[in-house]
Structure 1
Amino acid sequence: MSSVRAVTVTPEVPDSLRLIEDWPEPAPEEGAILVEALAVGICGTDHEIIAGAYGEAPPGQERLVLGHESLGRVLEDPTGTLHPGSLVAGIVRHPDPVPCPNCAVDEWDMCRNGLYTEHGIKALPGFARDRWRVQPKFAVGLDPVLAPVGMLLEPTSVVAKAWDHIERIGTRAEWKPQSVLVTGAGPIGLLAALLATQRGLSVHVLDRATTGPKPELVRALGATYHASPVSELDFAPDVVVECTGAPSVVLDTMCKAGPTGIVCLTGVSSGGRTIDFDAGALNRELVLENNVVFGSVNANRRHWELAAEALARADQSWLTSLITRRVPVSSYTEAYTSSGGDIKVVLDFER
C-alpha cells in the first residue's frame, strides 16, 4: 500500500495544523474493518480545534488526526459485517470504559460522566487519513447512492437524534404538530429542515442571509425562508429546532413557540456575553403553555441508522448542492480556511 497521509494538529496549540505524509498505518487495535478514506466533511468543531480551543490526542501521542465527518470504502472486513467495496461511515463517539448507566446500554450520546472518547476530537484518531479502521459496532453501511454525499451522515445523525427526542417528548400528550421553525441555515439547520419535510410538516427556516444559496436551498425543500427576526414571525411554531447558538435567537425562540411547543437547542453558544432579558416573562410563558426546552448533541447508533435512511430517501441533487467546495488533500489548508459563502466544505481523498 502507499504511505498514509493524515491531517493533524497538536491539541490546544493554535495553528498547528499539518499534513503528515508518512503517518503510520491504522493499528489493528482500532478495529477489524479496514477502510479507504474517500472524504471528510469539515465543520466548526474542526476550526475550534485548529484554533487551540480544545482537542485531545490519543494516549501516548502528541498529535491528533482530525476528521469526524467520515466517508470511506471498505477494503477488508474479516468479520463479515460489511463487504469490500461497501460505503461506510464511522460513528464518532465511543462509550466510556467505566461505563456510566447510559453508555452501558449503548446510549453514549447521553454519557453522564464525560469519559467518552470521540474520533478526531477527544482521545481517538480521526478519519482525515488515507486509511482508517473501525470496529463493526461503530461502522455504519451506506446506500451506494450516497457515494457523493455520505460524509453528511454525521451531521444528519445529530438532527436525527434531535427529531427522535422531539417526537418522544411529544408523546406526553395528544400532540399533532403542524409547523416547524428551524433557526439557522447552515448544514445542521438545512438537514433539520430536510428531516422535517420528510415528516410532512410545514417547515420554516430563518437565517440572516438574503443572498447566496441558502434561500433557494430552503425553497427547494418546499419550505419557507425568512430573513426577519424571530419576533417578527406571524405564527407560533409547534416545534423549534434552534441551530445558531446565538443567545438572542435562542431566547427569542423560547418565547415564540406555541402552546405545548417543543424547542430543541442544537447550536452551541460561545458564552461570555450577557443580554438584558425578562426571564420572568419567559418562565411565565413556558409554564402556562406547557412548553419544553431541551438540548441535544451527538447521536447513538440508532440515530446514525435513521440518518442513513433519511439521506437515502432525500433528493440526491439537493444533498449534493449542500457541498459548496471539494478540496483535494494536497490543498488541505484551503479546506480549513473559512469562506463566508460556504455551507459544507469537504476534504477529498480521491483527488
Structure 2
Amino acid sequence: MRALTVIPKRPGTVELTEVPDPKPADGELLVQGLAVGVCGTDKEIVRGEYGWSPPGRERLVIGHESLGRVHSAGPDSGFSAGDLVVGVVRRPDPVPCGACAHDEFDMCRNGEYTERGIKEIDGYASELWSVEAGYAVTIDPTLERVGVLVEPTSVVAKAWEQIRRVGQRAWFEPHRVLVTGAGPIGLLAALLGIQQGLEVHVLDRVTEGPKPDLVRRLGATYHHEDAAAVAARLRPDVVIEATGAGGVVFDVLANTAAYGIVCLTGVSSGGRPLRLDAAALNRDLVLENDAVLGSVNANLRHYRQAADALVAADESWLDALITRRVPLSRYAEAFEPTPDDVKVVITLDGENS
C-alpha cells in the first residue's frame, strides 16, 4: 500500500512510499484511510524540524488528523465494518506518570508519551491503517466529508474544558470571548464558543479571503485591527490565543476583563525578543485574579466532545473550512501554501472532492 513518509529531522525526505499492509494485532481495527488533515506540526516534520521515527526504523508515516472507515474488527471490539472512525494521536507513557495512569495522557508529566505520525509511532497518512479499539472513536456517518476535523476540534474541546475548570474555582458566567487567529484551531474554538451561547469575536490580520466570511457565518464578529486595541475595547472574559505570536499574547494578557482567563493554544516559534513591563503585567494579573494556562493535545473524552460538536454544527460551514482537498498522489501540493488556505486535507481513497 501507499503511505506518506519522511526521515525525521532531514528536510526534503517526504515521499510517497510503498509499505507493507498493516497486520492488526488482537484488539485492533483494520481501517481504510479516507483523509488526513495537514497542520503546522506536519509542515514542521516535513521541513525536518521535528519528529521521531519508530524504534529501529528510518522512516515515519506522518499524519495525525485522521479519518477512516473500518474494514474489519473483532467481534468484541465494539466496532463494525463500515463504521466511520478517527484515531487518537497520543499514547500514554509506559511508566506511567500519574496523569497517564488516570487516562489523562494529554497531560503527561514526564514526556515519555508517543504520538501517531509524530513521535515513534506511524501515523494515519496511508491507504490502510490499524488502531487499537480503545484509541478509536466512532463518528456519525453524516461527518464523512468533514470528520477529519475531529482531531483539531478535540484540541479546542480540551481548551474549553480547561477554561471551565479554571473559571469554576469561583462564580463563573463568561459572556464575551476573543479568539486570536482565524486558522482552523481559532475558527473551531469560535464554533464551540458560539455553541455555548457566548458572544464571540475573532481577530486575524487578513481582510479578504474565506476567513472573515467563515467568522460571520458562525454569527461571530471579525476584527483585523491591532490586537491591543481590539482587546482593550472588548475587555473579554475569555481569550483563546491561537497565533503563538508573542506580541499578541502579551497584548491580550494585559486587556482582559477582571477575573479573565487566557488560554494559550498557539505554539510560538521564538527568536523575536519583546520589550514589556513585566511588573505592570504581574500587578494586573494579581489584582484582577486573572488566570493564564496553556493547553495542547487531547484525550479520548475530548475526541468524543469534538465529534458531538461537529454533529451539532452546520455541515456546510465545516465543509467551507476545508479549503483544499489534495489527492495522495499529489501530496506535495498540500505543503505549498496558497493565499486562501484555511484547512488543507489529503484524500487517501482516490477522490479529490
Partner of 2:161: 164
Is structure 2 residue 54 aligned with structure 1 residue 70? no
Question: Is residue 170 of structure 2 the alignment partner of residue 198 of structure 1?
Answer: no
Instruction: Please show how residues 280-299 of structure 1 align to structure 2 within 5 Å.
Output: 280-299=279-298
2:81 corresponding residue in structure 1: 84
Q: Does 1:278 align with 2:247?
A: no
Cα distance 1:243–1:107, how it changes in 2: closer, same or farther (>3 A)? same
Deviation for aligned residue 1:54: 1.3
Equivalent residue letter for 1:245:
G
Counterpart in the other structure of 2:47: 51
Q: Deviations over 1:280-324 (max 9, x none)?
A: 111011001000000000001001100000001000000000011
Separation of aligned partners in 2, 1:86 and 1:275: 50
Deviation string for 1:214-242 (max 9, x for gaps)? 00100001000000112212120000000
Q: How far is 1:340 from its partner?
A: 2.7
Which shows bigger deviation, 94-103 or 334-343? 334-343
The answer to whether the Cα contact below 8 Å between 1:243 and 1:267 also exists between their aligned partners in 2 is yes
- Name the counterpart of 1:138: 135
Q: Offset at 1:175?
A: 1.3
Aligned counterparts of 2:277 and 2:77: Cα–Cα separation in 1: 58
Paired position in structure 1 for 2:147? 150
Q: 2-side partners of 1:114 and 1:92: how far apart?
A: 15
2:183 and 2:249 map into 1 onto residues whose CA distance is 16
Give, in angstroms, the shift of residue 339 of structure 1: 2.0
For structure 1, which runs of at least 5 residues remain unmatched after alignment?
none
Match of 1:23 among 15, 19, 22: 19
Please name the residue that 1:342 is paired with.
341
Q: TM-score scaled by structure 2?
A: 0.97
1:174-211 superposed Cα distances (whole Å, 9 cap, x missing partner):
11100000000000000000000000000000000100
Name the counterpart of 1:266: 265
Q: Secondary structure at the match of 2:13?
A: coil
Aligned-residue CA RMSD in angstroms? 1.0
Whole-Å separation in 2 of the counterparts to 1:65 and 1:339: 25
Partner of residue 218 from structure 2, selected from 218, 221, 231: 221
Q: Kindly indicate whether residue 170 of structure 2 is the aligned counterpart of residue 173 of structure 1.
A: yes
For residues 60 and 335 of structure 2, the distance between their equivalents in structure 1, rounded to whole angstroms, comes to 15
Partner in structure 2 of residue 231 of structure 1: 228
1:40 corresponds to which residue? 36
Segments of 4+ in structure 1 off by > 3 A?
A: none
Letter aligned with residue 104 of structure 2:
E
**Contact 2:237 2:258 (C-alpha < 8 Å) held by counterparts:** yes
Indicate if the aligned counterparts of 1:5 and 1:130 stay in contact, CA closer than 8 A.
yes
User: CA separation in 2, counterparts of 1:45 and 1:6?
Assistant: 18
Question: When the two structures are superposed, what TM-score results if normalisation uses the length of structure 1?
Answer: 0.97
- Percent identity (aligned): 59
Alignment coverage as a number of residue pairs: 347
User: Retained in 2: the 8 A contact 1:30–1:134?
Assistant: no
Corresponding residue number in structure 2 for 1:106: 103
2:307 corresponds in structure 1 to 308
Which digits, 9 at most, give the CA deviation of each residue in 1:54-84, with x for residues without a partner?
Answer: 1011111110001000000000110331111
* Code of the aligned partner of 1:76: S
In the alignment, what sits opposite 2:253? 254
Cα distance in 1 for partners of 2:12, 2:339 equals: 20
Residues 1:5 and 2:2 are matched in the alignment:
yes
**Secondary structure of 1:28's partner?**
coil
Aligned positions of 1:124-135 closer than 5 A: 124-135=121-132
Residue pair 2:77, 2:133 contacting (<8 A) in 1 also:
no
Q: 1:231 to 1:30 in 2, by over 3 A?
A: farther
Give the letter for the 2:120 counterpart. Answer: A
Give, in whole Å, the separation in 2 of the partners of 1:238 and 1:30. 48
Q: Match of 1:184, as an amino acid? A: G
